[in-house]
Structure 1
Amino acid sequence: MNKDALVVGLALFAMFFGAGNLIFPPFLGMESGWEWPLGLACFVFVDVVISCIGIVAINQAGGSILSIEGVLGKRPALVLNTAAILCTGVLIASPRTAATTYEMSVAPLLGDWIGLLPFSLLFFAVVLLLALRPTRIVDIVGKVLTPVLVAGIAIMVIAGIVSPLGPVTAPESATVVADGISAGYQTMDILAVVGFAIIVQESVRAAGYADGKSQLAVTARASLVACVLLALVYGGLTYLGATAATVVPHDVNQATLITLITEQLMGRVGLVVLGIVVGFACLTTAVGLCGATAAYLERISGRRLSYRAALISVVVIALAICNLGLTAIIDLAAPILSVICPPFMITVVLMLFRRRIRSTWTFKGAALAAVAASLVLTVHDVTGLFSFVEAAPLFAYGFSWLPPALAGALAGALLGRKFDPRRITAAA
C-alpha cells in the first residue's frame, strides 16, 4: 500500500462518510440485537462494497461522467442519472440533511424553543446564499469537520466497548437481512459513485499516474482503504446500537437514537460537540448537493433554466420536504431508493466485465429488468398486491430483483449478438 493510495483512500472515505450516514447503523443495530453482525454485513455489502466496486469499475471505463452513458446509451443514462441527482439533491438527501441537523443539533440542545419550520427556513437560506456565492468556507469546514467527526465516533465506540450501555438482546426485527439492505440503500452512496469516481481519478492523475493501468491500481487500493475504514466505523456504530436496545425508548427515530447514545457515553459536552460538528457537516453537504443539482439541471436544459433559477427551485422543494420530518423523509425514501438503486448496482458491477461484454444491449437488458422487478417488488411492499413475488428466489434477503436482472442481461446479450455485435471500447 503506497502513500498515494492511502491519501486518496482517506479522501474517498471522507466523501462516502457523510453526516447523514451516521444515523443508520445504530438504528440497524438496535433492531438487529445479537444478529447485528448479520445486519451490518448486509449494510456494508450494499453501501460500501458495491459503491467501492463502482469506483473501480468507472475508473476502468475511463472515469468520465460519460461512463454510464457509454454502456447504457444516452437516453437511458440520462433517465438514470437524472433520477439519482433528483434523489440526492432535491427529494431525499438535501431535505434529510436539514431534518437531521434539527434532530441532532437543535432539538437536543434547545428543545422546542425553535421549531422545524423556522429552523429549516434559516438553514436553507444559508444554503442558498453559500451556493449562489461559493466561498472557501464550505471547503474548509468540510475538510476540518470530517476528521473531528470520525475522531469523536472513534472515542465513543471505544467507550461503548469498554463500558457497554447494556446487554445485547434478541432481535426486535424478523427481517434483519432486508433491514441491512434497506439501510444501505438509504445512504444513497451508490448513486454518488459516478461523481466520486471522477474526483478520485483526478486526484490519482494529479499524483502523477498517467497511464490507465497505474491509475486503476491506485484506485483499487484506495477503494480498499475506504472500504475497510467505512466497515470499521459502521461496525462500531452498529454495535453501539445493539447495546443501547435496553436503555433507550424503542419509538425513537434514527437521529434521536444516536444523540441518546452520545449523551449516555460522553455526557452533555459530547452531545454539544456532536451537535455542532454534525450541524456544520450537514450544512456543507446540503450546499454541495443543491449546487451540484442546480448545475446539472442547467446543463441538461441547455441553459434554458439558469443556475440561479434552478438553485432556488431546488432549495424551495427541499425546504418543503424537510418539514415532513426526518422519519417521514426516510419512509418516503425507502420505496424510491428500492427502485432506483438496483439498476445502478447491476450496471456498475457489470462494468467490471465490460471488456468481455459484447454490446450495450447486455447493460440495457440488465438495468431495465432490474427496474421492472424492483418496481413490482416495491409496489408489493407498499400495497401487498403481488403476493406471488414472495416465492421468488432471494426474496427473504431483499435481492429478488437480481435473478430478473441477470436474465435481462442474458436476453440483452443474445439480442445484441444478433442486432448490435459491436464490442464496447475502453473509451466508451
Structure 2
Amino acid sequence: MNKDALVIGLALFAMFFGAGNLIFPPFLGLESGDQWPIGLACFVFVDVVISCIGVVAINRAGGSILSIEGVLGKRAALVLNTAAILCTGVIIASPRTAATTYEMSIAPLLGDQIGLLPFSLLFFAVVLLLTLRPVRIVDIVGKVLTPVLVAGIVVMVAAGIATPLGPVGAPETATVVADGISAGYQTMDILAVVGFALIVQESVRAAGYADGKSQLSVTARASLVACVLLTLVYGGLTYLGATAATVVPADVNQATLITLITEQLMGRTGLMVLGVVVGFACLTTAVGLVGATAAYVERITDRRVGYRAALIAVVVIALLICNLGLTTIISLAAPVLSVICPPFMITVVLLLFRRHIRSTWTFKGAALAAVGASLLLTAHDLTGAFAFVEAAPLYVFGFSWLPPALIGAAAGALLGRRFDGRAPLPRP
C-alpha cells in the first residue's frame, strides 16, 4: 500500500462518512440485538462494498461523468441522474441534514426552548447565504471536522467496548437482513458514487499517475482503504447500538439513540462536542448538496432556470420537508430509495465489466428490469397487495430485484446481438 493510495483512501473515507451516516448503524445494532453482525454485514455490503466497487468501476470505464449516460443512453441517464440529485439535494438528504442537526445538536442541549421550525429557518438561511456567496470557511470546517468526528467516534467505541452499556439481547425485529439493506440504502452513498469517482480520479492524476493501469491500481487500493475504515467504524457503532437496548427508551429514534449513547459513555461534555461537530458537518454537507442541485438544474434546463432561482426553490422545498421531522423523513425515504438504488447498483457493478460487455442493451435491460422489480417489491411492502413476490429468490435477503435485473441484462445482451450486431462497446 503506497502513500498516495492511503491518502486518497482517507479522503474517500471522509467523503462517504458524513454526519448523517452516523445515525443508522447504532439503530441497526439496537434492532438486531445479538444478530448485529448479520445486520452489519448487509449494511456494509450495500453501503460500503457496492459504493467502493462503483468508484473503481466508473474509473475503469473512463471516469467521466458521462459513464452512465454512455451505457444507458441520454434519456435514461437523465431520468436516473435527476432522481438521484433530487433525493440527495432536495427530497431526502438536505432536509435530513437540518433535522439531524436539530435532533443531535439542539434538542439534547436546549430541549424545547427552540422548535424545529425556527431552527430550520435559521439553518437554511445560513445555507442559502453560504451557497450564494461561497467562502473558504466551508471547506476548512469540512476538512477539520471529519477528523474530529472520527476521533470522537473511535474514543466512544473504545469506551463502549471496555465498559458495555448493557448486555446484548435478542433481536427486536424479525427482518435483520432486510433492515441492514434498507439502512444501507438510507445512507445514499451509492447515489454519490459518480461524483466521488470523479474526485478520486482527479486526485490520482494530480498525484502523478498518467497511464490508465496505474490510475486504476491506485484507485482500487484507495477504495480498499476506505472500505476497511468504513467497515471498522460502522462495526463499532453497530455494536454500541446492540449494547444500548436496556438503557434507552423503547420508542427512541435514530438521532436520539446516538446522543443517548454518547452521553452515557462520554458525559455531558462529550454530548456537547458531538452536537457542535455534527451541526457544522451537516451545515457544510447541506451547502454542498443544495449548491450541486441548483447547478444541475441550471445545466439540464440550459440556463432557462438560473442558479439563484433554482437554489431558492431547492432551499424552500428542503425547509418544508425538514419540518416533517427526522423520523418521518427517514420513513418516507425508504420506499423512494428502494426503487432508485437498485438500478444504480446494477449499473455501476456492470460498469466494472464494461470491456467484456458487447452492447449497451445489456446495461439498459438490467437497469429497466431492476426498476420494474423494485417498483413491484416496494408496492408490496407498502400495501401487501402482491404476496407472490415473497416467493421470489433472495426475497428474505432484500435482493429479490437482482434475479430480474440479471435476466434483464441477459435479454438486453440478446437484443444487442440482434440490433447492434457483434460490434463491441467503444473503449473508454
TM-score by length of 2: 0.99
| Aligned-partner SS, 1:374 | helix
CA–CA separation in structure 2 for the residues paired with 1:245 and 1:40: 17
Match of 1:64 in 2: 64
User: 1-side partners of 2:308 and 2:279: how far apart?
Assistant: 25
Return the alpha-carbon distance in structure 2 between the equivalents of residues 19 and 114 of structure 1: 22
Where 2:62 maps in the other structure, the secondary structure is coil
Question: SS of 1:112's equivalent?
Answer: coil
Q: Distance in 2 between matches of 1:34 and 1:417?
A: 50
Question: Match for residue 391 of structure 1?
Answer: 391
Partner Cα distance (1:325, 1:123) in 2 = 14
* Cα shift at 1:250: 1.6
Local SS of the residue matching 2:354: coil
| CA deviation after TM superposition for structure 1 residue 423, in Å | 1.3
Partner of 2:403: 403
Give the letter for the 1:210 counterpart.
A
Name the counterpart of 1:426: 427
Give the Å deviation of 1:123: 0.2
Structure 1 position 173, deviation (Å): 0.6
Matches within 5 A, 1:266-285: 266-285=266-285
Aligned to 2:231: 231
Alignment of 1:102 with 2:111, yes or no, is no
Q: Would you say how many aligned residue pairs link Structure 1 and Structure 2?
A: 427
- % identity of equivalent residues: 86
In structure 2, C-alpha distance between the alignment counterparts of 1:396 and 1:420, rounded to whole Å:
38
Q: Counterparts in 2 of 1:128-167, with a 5 A limit? A: 128-167=128-167
2:328 corresponds in structure 1 to 328
Counterpart Cα distance in 2 of 1:182 and 1:147: 27
Map residues 29-428 of structure 1 onto 2, 5 A cutoff.
Answer: 29-421=29-421, 422-427=423-428
Query: Post-superposition shift, 1:426?
Result: 2.5
Task: Measure how far apart 1:331 and its partner are.
Answer: 0.3
Give CA deviations for 1:204-260 in whole Å, capped at 9, x if unaligned: 000000111100000000000000000000000000000001111120110000000
How many Å apart are 1:140 and its aligned residue?
A: 0.2
For structure 1, the residue ranges without an aligned partner over 5 or more in a row are none
Secondary structure of 2:356 counterpart: coil
Q: Distance in 2 between matches of 1:134 and 1:162?
A: 43
Gaps of 5+ in 2: none
CA offsets 1:42-62 (integer angstroms, 9 cap, x no match): 000000000000000000011
| RMSD, matched Cα | 0.4
User: Please, which moves more after superposition, 417-426 or 150-159?
Assistant: 417-426
1:127 CA drift (Å): 0.3
Q: Report the secondary structure of 1:77's partner residue.
A: helix
The letter for the 2-side match of 1:423 is P
SS of the residue aligned with 1:23?
helix
Distance 1:13 1:32 in 2: 25
Give the Cα–Cα distance (whole angstroms) in 1 for the partners of residues 158 and 177 of structure 2.
26
SS in 2 for 1:113: coil
The code of the aligned residue for 1:371 comes to V
Quick one: distance in 1 between partners of 2:139 and 2:353? 36
Q: Which runs of 4+ in 1 moved over 2 A?
A: none
Give, in whole Å, the separation in 1 of the partners of 2:71 and 2:311: 30
The CA deviation at 1:40 is 0.1
Q: Secondary structure at the match of 1:355?
A: helix
Aligned to 1:272, what secondary structure does the other structure show?
helix
Q: What is the one-letter code of the residue matched to 1:145?
A: L
